[in-house]
Structure formats: structure tokens, C-alpha cells
A and B are shown apart, each in its own frame.
Chain A
Amino acid sequence: MNTLAHSLDFWSGMALLAAENLPAQILVWMLVLVAAGLLLASSVRTWVVGIAALVLAAIIVGVGLQISSLLVVGTILGVVGLICVLPPSRADLRIVGALFFAAALGVYAYAVGTNNVSAVTHDVISWVVFAILALTTVGSAVAMVSSRNAVYSAIWFALTLLGTGGLFLYQGAQFLGVATVVVYAGAIVVTFLFVIMLAQPGGHAAYDRISWGWFAKPAAGLAAAMLMGAVLYALDGIGHGGVREQVVAAIDDLAVSDEPLPLTSSQVVKATLTGPEARRSVELQLNSTASEVNFSAEEKTRLADAIAKRLPETDSPLKVSFSPALAAPHDVLADSHMAHLGGYLFSRHLIAVEIAGTLLLVALVGAVAMLSPSTAAGRREGDARV
């Protein structure tokens, strides 16, 4: 129920943000411009105009919605680079595209890094680790999409998976990090390679060097730009618009402030928010054991008032309530990671696990049945009769 409430709250929050801020006329103008650009492109029969329309649209979206402009620039550069390196392209164009893409990644890294890096050493180190993992993942993803040989595509995909596994580990998802490498990179990619070598023994083929005419690349690039624009817009909302972030900032202030507080600041060791984040009521949970901090009802009220007072004005007053000051029940960063994960998996999702196992069996039987010689022969006879 918790998870469902979280997701429902996320989407309703997104919808609220969109309804409050989204200037509809900008979207309409952008669509008109893109349509004009694509019409022009169809008469000139070149994708340059398509890219121009796309860039224009992205700039308008970026400026109009005033989302963080560096990321928009990065997205535009990246989409242009992606269009340049995708299959029907000459060698020199691929180099240009790679440069574009490197520039895009640089801009992204700068834009994200300015948020991340503080003067603290371990912050810098963790940021560098994250940057390396992210660069590996995204860079090899681009290489996979643009590679003109399917074998290299599969190998680049394996590298992407290694990067993703590292990113999982970085988030503390140890089991999934290992499982991704073992199952995906170890089994699935090898199956892909096997099928490629079986079905395409020459290794290189004409259809790996072309696409669906001139239209596919600008259209796909446009879709990519719009999708990334939507993602960036949503991220902007999550990063700055949420009541939750205001509360977190207020609590951080509270914890480090020198002003006289209703409680001594040493008692507020570290405050984190959990639970359903309703937009008008905030649940505050203190991440410390009950014996260390024992708030009385009166103290709770005073602390809640202090937090509410430091929040910006909202339409209705925020209600701050306290859950029992115990460790979080679902601590995904717990030391006994596997035990927690297994406990959760085999208690709450037991039926789903059984169904997934059955699905694996069914898929196995289905794959064998599709390719077994007897059914294949039957199919050929059927073809002959028809």
C-alpha cells in the first residue's frame, strides 16, 4: 500500500505541477514550428531541415518553460550528435556526431556536477565515481545504437550493462547489481551474440548501414528531444517545486541553525522524511532511537510549529506530525541487504515469485516448441498444402 500511495502521490504531484506552470501556448507554437520544419524537410528531402526544426522546438521549449538551460543545451547537442552518428552516415559525419555528443556529455556533466560537488572530499570522490559510471553507461549506449556491425552492438550493450550494474551498486542495490551482470551481460548478451553469428555469418550486412529512408532519423530525434524535454521539466519540478524539498531544507536549517530552538539541536541528530508525502501534511520521522530522543507531546508541538514557521506560505497551513522515532521499517541501505531483500521478496511478493517462475518455464517450453524440428517440419508441410 505504501508503494502505491507513493506512486499515486508522485503522479498527482506531477499533474498539479503541470497544471500550475505549463504554458500551453508554448507547446502549441512548438508543434506548429515542428510541423512546418518537417513539411519543409519533406520537399527538400534532407534531414538538415528536420534537425533545424527540432533544435528550434527544443530551444523554445527550454526558454519558454525556463527549465535549467544548460541541460536543454546539452539535450540539443546530444540529439544532433545522435542523429549524426546513427547508421546512414559517412565516416566524417560520424566524427562530427561524436564531437557533438562529447560536448553534450560535457555540458550535462557540468550542469549536474555544479549541483553535486561541494568542498567535502568524499563528496568529490563519490561524484567522480558516479560520473565515470554514468559516462560509461551512456557513452556505450550511444556506441551500441550507432555501431554498423551487430556484433559490436551486442558487445557495447554488455558494457552498458556493466555500467548499469555499477550504478545499481552505487545506489546500494547490491543484489541487483550482481544479478544484472550475471543474467544480462552473462547470459542474455551471449545468447544475442550466438544468434547473430548463427543468422548473419558474414558479420556485416547492408541493412546495418541504412535506416528507413530520410524520415526516420529526424522523427526519432524529435521524439528523443521531446521525451528528454519532458524528463527535464519533470526533474525541475521534483528538484525545486516540491513541498517535501522545502521541508527538508527547513529541517536542515533547523539542525544547523544557531538560533534558539525549541529543543537543543544536539537532540535533532538527523531528520529524514518518510511516509506518504501528502502535499498539505508532512510526516516527520526522526532517525534516531527512541531512547535517545524522547519528545513529549508539548515538545513535538513546538518543534512542529518551528518547522511550519520556517516554511514559505502555502494556501493552507502545513500540518507536521511525528511518527514513532524508530529506524525506518524498510531500510534499503541496511547492512543485511540480502536478508531484507529476500524477506521482502518471499513474504510480500510470494505469489508474484511463483508466477515469475512459471513464466520462465512457459517461455522455455515455448522457445523449444517453436524451434523443435518436428513442429518446424509440420509447419513446412502446412505451407506446402496452402
Chain B
Amino acid sequence: VSEITLLLNYLLIGGLLFTIGLVGFLVRRNMIVMFLCAEMMLQGVALSLIAWGRYHQDWGGQMLVVFIITVAACEAGIAMALVLLLAQKSGKLDIAFWQDLRDPGQAKFVDREVPEEMATDRVWPTLTKSGLEPTHNLEEETHRSRV
């Protein structure tokens, strides 16, 4: 794989990541998901920077990515504190709750229809079972030396 195709491939992937993050940021309403989307846009930029650094045989690209990671960590800490504060006030992570901050004269955004919840929405991630379940000894488990 020549250097130029490597660069083109990485710019393509970086652009895709940035674009998907952008779309997610514009469409989603959960504050945390919006923030994840912003992080993903940063990842797209980081990929492009690394590719350019490799192409020009220069450390500058990797250097910028080091600082991107640092600043993203700071940003995540601050943003999570803010999100927690907002969630404590409103009781939910919905960004539309804060639309009172809009300009005067703007119409209020009202949800027309909310699709109903499906059973698949309630599934939490679980760990796969592993190992053997030991045989239980009821007496031993419920035994108290003194009550």
C-alpha cells in the first residue's frame, strides 16, 4: 500500500467518523450521547492528523493528537460534572428540558408523538455466564452462630 493511498483511506475514515458524530450530535437529545458524538468527531480529526503526520514524516500530527486526548479528558471531566448538575435539577438527561434558554420570541419545541417503548429497549447489557456454579448448602448459608 503506497503512502498516498494510506493517507486517502485514513482521511476517508476520519471524515466518516466526523460526519457520523456530527449527525448524531444534531439528531440525538440525550446529553451524554451528544457528548459521545462530540468525542467521536474528535476521533475523526485525530485519525486525519495521524495520517498527515505519517505522510509528511513529521511528528507534529501525533503531537497534536496527544494534546487532543489530554484536552478531551479535561473536557469529559468538566462535562460530566455539568451533566450531573443538570440531571439533578431536571431528573433526566433530555437536553430539550433546557430549551427555556432559547432566544425570546422563539416558539417552544413540543414533542408531537413519542414512539412507544419496545421490549428490546429495556434490555440491559449483561455479562455472559462463566464458570461452574458451586453446589449450595442451605444450612451452611443460613447458619448464624448466634442470633
Same assembly: yes
* A298 interfacial by beta-carbon distance below 8 Å: no
CB distance A340 to B121 under 8 Å? no
Q: Give the chain A neighbours of B33 by CB distance below 8 A.
A: 144-145, 150, 153, 208
**Known A137-B13, A171-B6: A195·B19 in contact at CB below 8 Å:** no
CB distance A209 to B10 under 8 Å? no
Q: B48-104: which residues lie under 8 A (CB-CB) from chain A?
A: 50-54, 56-60, 62-63, 65-67, 69-78, 80-85, 87-88, 92-94, 96
- Judged by DSSP, the binding face of B is helix
Residue in chain B with minimal CB distance to A367: B81
A residues sitting closer than 8 Å to B (CB atoms) are 2-3, 6, 10, 71, 78, 82, 86-88, 90-91, 108, 112, 115-116, 123, 126-127, 130, 134, 137-138, 141-142, 144-145, 148-155, 157, 160-161, 164, 167-168, 171-173, 175-176, 179-180, 183-184, 187-188, 191-192, 195-196, 198-200, 203-213, 216-217, 219-221, 223-224, 227-228, 231-232, 234-235, 238-239, 245, 248, 272, 274, 328, 330-333, 340-341, 344-345, 349, 352, 356, 359-360, 362-364, 366-367, 370-371
B residues sitting closer than 8 Å to A (CB atoms) are 1, 4-13, 15-24, 26-30, 32-33, 35-37, 39-40, 43, 46-47, 50-54, 56-60, 62-63, 65-67, 69-78, 80-85, 87-88, 92-94, 96, 109, 111-112, 114-115, 117-118, 120-125
CB distance A191 to B80 under 8 Å? yes
Q: Give the chain B neighbours of A356 by CB distance below 8 A.
A: 67, 70-71
CB distance B60 to A171 under 8 Å? no
Min C-beta distance of A322 to chain B, whole Å = 17
Min C-beta distance of B111 to chain A, whole Å = 6
Known: A224-B20, A359-B70. 14 other contacts (CB 8 A): A116-B5, A144-B24, A145-B21, A145-B28, A160-B40, A179-B66, A184-B69, A204-B121, A223-B22, A235-B8, A332-B59, A333-B54, A333-B57, A360-B73
**Known A168-B50, A195-B84, A217-B27: A145·B20 in contact at CB below 8 Å:** yes
Min C-beta distance of B56 to chain A, whole Å = 5
